[in-house]
Amino acid sequence: MNAPLQVGAFAAARSVLVRDLLLAFRRPGEWTQPLAFFVIVVLLFPLALDPEPALLRTLAPAALWVGLLLASMLALDFLFREDGRDGTLEQFALSGQPFSVLLLAKTVTHWLLTGLPLAIVGPLVALAFGAPAAAIPGVLAALLLGSVGLSLVGAIGAGLTLGLRRGGALLSLLLLPLLIPTLIFGARATQLAMLGESAAVPLYLLGALAVLALTLAPLAAAAAVRISLE
Amino acid sequence: MLEVRGLHLWRGERHLLQGLGFTVASGEALQLLWPNGTGKTSLLRCIAGLLHADSGDILWQGRPAGADPAAFHAALAYLAHEPALKGDLTALENLRFSLGLRVRAGEAALRAALEAAGVGQLDPQQPVRSFSAGQQKRVALARLSLWGARLWLLDEPAANLDAAGQAVLAEFLSRHLAAGGLALVATHQGVQLPGMPLRHWRTPREAA
């Protein structure tokens, strides 16, 4: 009866992932909201500015990345909130499974639902800014790598502000400084791709940031959520 | 065996637990009937490791519970105030995903547990959101019974339950104790378990 765990950490993480995807499927409003926000904010720029193609092309990387950053912030607010409120995170912490692995599974699901759609829609929005079709792979790669980093680092902030009633504003203040490198290299990679030049260097740096975040962020997020659960 | 020695806990300015000590042996339940706000939930959370006590020892099978938290947590089931169910999932899906973290259980076992908890007759497509608070508690009890944990920490398990629901709780608890399990129950109602080793503890000052 002193049951040892019959389920490995990987299977447990998969169970969390499938559950979160199913929940998202039942309530699509939650994860389509950041996507709609991103598209609206970024597409407002051409309307507010002179419809000068050269100007729009110059502005596109900045508009895309600021839009991505703000949409990610909006999405992060509900990464852990509901699970924290209904006691699910406590059950995760007491499951005997590595807490950081379960939270990583949640973060991965969150990226699949918000980061990935943003990264896919991003290049299409770039086309509206007059980006050449040849720029799409570079822009897509930059947004994919950047959004991975944003979700992972964002999980730390979401964990820290979990116990707060209105954590949204604090979340942005905490995270924005940490996300500046991603913003700089991401915008630079997008700019180079749109100019038809090699974006390899900023892309490698974005990749390095994403790997660093993948290594450290789950542990930091687990520690942050534990503090918030006390 | 669960042994707690010299547990001190401060919450803000309040010295909630003042050198608390007790043991719960295999097959035994300890019922905390303390008044509101005297630290029942805090004690359960301390034992579970969700809250850090300021001093004191929590020993599980003679060893500090914190020495191997993963093994201790695998032997522990915590039923909190919040039933930790997802409103948009059905009862069966809720069980499947929470059990997916710990044990392998077939669909038949899940259905049998829901049946035993008295929620088996409900529409299987119905999301848990539409259940009453008592029915949600019963789903949480079904989950508890399937985890196979040795130590149960139950926070107000009888809250929202009608007489039949309380009978389900008593039945699950009796079976758990008869199989050598341990339970620590924080409650106002007081769970009745005729013939089972159930101790009552009415205030945090009184010796257990």
Tell me which long-range contacts A123-127 makes (C-beta under 8 A, separation of at least 24): A125/A38, A125/A39, A125/A42, A125/A43, A125/A64, A125/A67, A126/A60, A126/A64, A126/A190, A126/A194
Look at residues A139, A102, A216 and name the one whose alpha carbon lies nearest to residue B100: A102
- Inter-chain contact B84–A88, Cβ cutoff 8 Å? yes
Residue A210 falls within a domain, yes or no?
yes
pTM: 0.93
Is residue A207 exposed (0-12), middle (13-18) or buried (19+ Cβ within 10 Å)? middle
Measured distance CA(B23)–CA(B208) in Å, rounded? 8
Residues of B within 8 A of A6 (CB-CB) are 102-104
Per-residue pLDDT tens digits for A3-50: 557 889 999 999 999 999 999 999 988 889 999 999 999 989 888 888
Per-residue pLDDT tens digits for B91-134: 999 999 999 999 988 899 999 999 999 998 888 899 999 999 99
- CA-based nearest residue in chain A for residue B96: A15
Phi, psi of B60 (to 5 degrees): -115, 120
Per-residue pLDDT tens digits for A194-211: 999 999 999 999 999 999
- Inter-chain contact A86–B85, Cβ cutoff 8 Å? yes
Residue A115 falls within a domain, yes or no?
yes
pLDDT exceeds 90 at position A149:
yes
- Inter-chain contact B80–A87, Cβ cutoff 8 Å? yes
Best of A19, A26, A31, A101 to substitute, by most chain B Cβ atoms within 10 angstroms, is: A19
- Tokens 């259980």 sit on residue: B105
Number of domains chain A is built from:
1
Q: What ipTM was predicted for this assembly?
A: 0.92
- CA-based nearest residue in chain A for residue B176: A1
Residue A65 falls within a domain, yes or no?
yes
Per-residue pLDDT tens digits for A99-136: 999 999 999 999 999 999 999 999 999 998 889 999 99
Q: Is the CB of residue A32 less than 8 Å away from at least one CB of chain B?
A: no
Residue A219 falls within a domain, yes or no?
yes
- Provide the pLDDT confidence category of residue B200 given band limits of 50, 70 and 90: confident
Beta carbons within 8 Å of A50's beta carbon, 6+ residues apart: none
- CA-based nearest residue in chain B for residue A97: B70
Q: Is the CB of residue A27 less than 8 Å away from at least one CB of chain B?
A: yes
What range defines the domain where residue A147 resides? 26-229
- Provide the pLDDT confidence category of residue A2 given band limits of 50, 70 and 90: very low
Residue A174 falls within a domain, yes or no?
yes
Residue A14 falls within a domain, yes or no?
no
Q: Is the CB of residue A148 less than 8 Å away from at least one CB of chain B?
A: no
- Inter-chain contact A12–B101, Cβ cutoff 8 Å? yes
Q: Is the CB of residue B89 less than 8 Å away from at least one CB of chain A?
A: yes
What's the whole-number average pLDDT of chain A? 92
Which helix or strand (DSSP H or E) is residue A9 part of? helix A9-26
Residue A132 falls within a domain, yes or no?
yes
CB neighbour burial string for A185-203, b if at least 16 within 10 angstroms, e if fewer: bbbbbbbbbbbeeebeebb
Least CB-CB distance to A91: which of B72, B98, B179?
A: B98
Q: Is the CB of residue B159 less than 8 Å away from at least one CB of chain A?
A: no
Residue A173 falls within a domain, yes or no?
yes
Range B61-76 average pLDDT: 92
Tokens in use for B116?
Answer: 């035993």
Least CB-CB distance to A12: which of B49, B52, B100?
A: B100
pLDDT exceeds 80 at position B193:
no
Q: Tell which A residues from 190 to 229 touch B, by Cβ distance under 8 Å.
A: 229
pLDDT given at position B157? 92
Least CB-CB distance to A90: which of B80, B93, B148?
A: B80
Q: Is the CB of residue B118 less than 8 Å away from at least one CB of chain A?
A: no
- Provide the pLDDT confidence category of residue B207 given band limits of 50, 70 and 90: low
- Give the angle subtended at the CA of B128 by the CAs of A105 and B186, to the nearest 5°: 85
- Provide the pLDDT confidence category of residue B140 given band limits of 50, 70 and 90: very high
pLDDT given at position A1? 43
